[in-house]
Chain A
């Protein structure tokens, strides 16, 4: 009971802080913020309800007909009214594949960001608050981590996972591997930001006061320091979401993305890339536009949020 009270109090406190920053006012008075949020929500909506909206299920292999492949959009000569935005090299409807692909890209983005956020914030708090040897160890792990580009981590983890996990579910596993790889490669930024903020916060009076009255370390971190760093973390998270989606796309260029039978937006762009010279531009350009719509709206929103909360953040 008491805990719930405290919890509620903390949330109220957080909202109050948001209000103090005039976030809402600022939001409704920034057309860019409103538009980008609306676009982001729209993309999220259509991808969540892809199976309802999309005219076809491109992941159902039995429904594909190779003879329908590489058809142009409906307004070009040779277009087929069944396929509004044309078809790809396997005869998949581009529109449907974009919807399903966005869902996968967003899923990979969201889950990996949440994963690295939790990992990064936790380690950052500990590192900054405890300091000393613990701090050194965590920061050196961060160095090791940074020495492996995300691309390589995914490349290697992909192999490891395929060898260690049950053998016959590759398409299902691929997405978790991707999420894990991107998450693992992203936590350092959170950890470093949180650590530096904690180091500034912990010398402030209120923390010292807490220590004096005998509050436990965990309590101090959880109740007092965390709420102060949550804003910036949220900003990084938003921008990281866009980055994660782009990294996933880049990985598919290197051939370690999601399998071609269940493509993400990145995989689609990679496939379409091979048809850019042959004039079948719709296989790349439409998924590319969808990717830009998602990444740009999320980026713009994150950008606005950064300005509103703390312009000094990177």
Chain B
């Protein structure tokens, strides 16, 4: 029924648009940062890809419910476990009027492997692209890869002729001091919006592309201005004073203000990002702790003690203003492979924690440095502070090191030698699938096979490693789910991580704006309706 009414309203809007095509609707929005250049293969990061997703398109696209739908490909199927046959959409035009065809697909995949590209991993999933005819291609993968088309949603297609004519056949290379790259400043996609002017870090202007293949898009917007506004208070003020129509992110504590203010509202939704704490479980002595000669986190009782000391409900109620979803799993409900039956957080029980610590021989607690970003996730620093005071109650003295993200990541990630003992991190699997979490967070660190790169504390279990491989190749959904459940169960029982919650999406918009708040925090102009 709801679907029907949605469909009807969609039809109604399409009808209105067809009747009055000349009505120009302007829309202004602000985000905390700017896209890093315009090159579609320049940076594999949510905001940049989200912004460029209005201008460029992949073979597939996520719809408003994060379901995969056709975009530049109309049909796809596996003709053998490692070969996909893709039918391309006919009659698609780039903004400059060129036709989209199989040559552009072959070209775009090759371009992802050039020096400046940050899409090497995604593009590299496909080892060979074979052009069958102008609108049919074969994609070959090294291994069976059921999630290939999910990955394709963020791999954007470029025009071969345009790129060649403008010397943009290679991804813009930021380390080249003399050559900025044409595609970094100019764009020519197949998407519903064209970038008509841009001053990096100040303003980007989009205009509607009349030649877009999809005439049924929900949006009625014809002209868009995007401004980065760094300070949260300034951003919220811009919305409250109606200088912009939409801003994100909004601090969760400002929801009340937005809801009470005239003409604007807060938009809240669950995000697919899971926030968790990680512990160094591999070093023989922690780098930053008062415990010398051994690693307390190697003792499961200590990990359990930590787990039961955290009051997730208090964090939800007070720090997140009721907006988080306490989590027992390392994946969010939107992620393929999530199982509600396993999603029970560790119970809050500080007495049990104290007992466990005493049993483990730390009755008097110990000192531990906690690494925390202070400008990456929703209220990240405040969560760490709250965790520190909860742990203080069971005798763990936390020395909190909260830093801006460039310093934080420089320290705790591989390039900093995983220099951390206890940390807070957030993760959204880019493919919207649990396998990504297994490969990056749960698998033992294995630089050679590019596994466990974000398993900063090197949680390690042989069966989990085995499951990671099996999940990646299993195409039978039921079997695959059983494997995923088994893996998550092991991690839970061993307290490999301390999941906290899924953070909320927190946006704000004018009352006259209708939009779609997608769980991966991508803001898609295709769904913006100005009333």
Contact = CB atoms under 8 A, between A and B. Distances in A.
Q: Do chains A and B directly touch (beta carbons under 8 Å) in the complex?
A: yes
Contact of A260 (B317, B381, B393): B381
A7 to B, nearest CB: 45
Contacts of B288: 167-168
B384 to A, nearest CB: 9
A-side interface mostly: loop
Nearest to B253: A278
B400 A66 contact: no
B294 interface: no
Nearest to B290: A168
A273 interface: yes
A8 interface: no
Given A61-B398, A67-B314, A275 B253 contact: yes
A250 B90 CA distance: 58
Contacts, number: 91
A69 interface: yes
Contacts of B388: 61, 261
Interface stretch (B116-124, B158-166, B324-332, B401-409): B401-409
B233 interface: yes
Contacts of A169: 399
A110 B265 CA distance: 47
Contacts of A60: 392
Interface in B149-196: none
A167 B369 contact: yes
- Size category of the A interface is 20 to 34
A89 B319 contact: yes
A310 interface: no
B389 A90 contact: yes
B315 interface: yes
Contact of B254 (A89, A168, A277): A277
B409 to A, nearest CB: 14
A64 B389 contact: yes
Contact of A62 (B251, B311, B393, B404): B393
Interface in B233-256: 233, 236-237, 240, 251, 253-256
A70 B318 contact: yes
Nearest to A170: B401
B392 A277 contact: no
B392 A61 contact: yes
Given A61-B392, A62-B392, A67-B318, A259 B400 contact: yes
A260 B407 CA distance: 17
A275 B233 CA distance: 9
Nearest to B384: A260
B385 interface: yes
Interface centre among B389, B392, B398, B400 (most CB of A within 10 A): B389
A66 B401 contact: no
B344 interface: no
A278 B382 contact: no
Interface in A87-115: 89-91
22 contacts: A61-B397, A64-B389, A66-B311, A66-B314, A66-B386, A67-B314, A67-B317, A67-B318, A69-B318, A89-B318, A90-B385, A90-B389, A260-B382, A260-B402, A261-B388, A261-B400, A274-B232, A276-B233, A277-B240, A278-B251, A279-B256, A279-B257
Given A89-B319, A260-B385, 4 more contacts: A168-B289, A168-B290, A255-B375, A278-B251
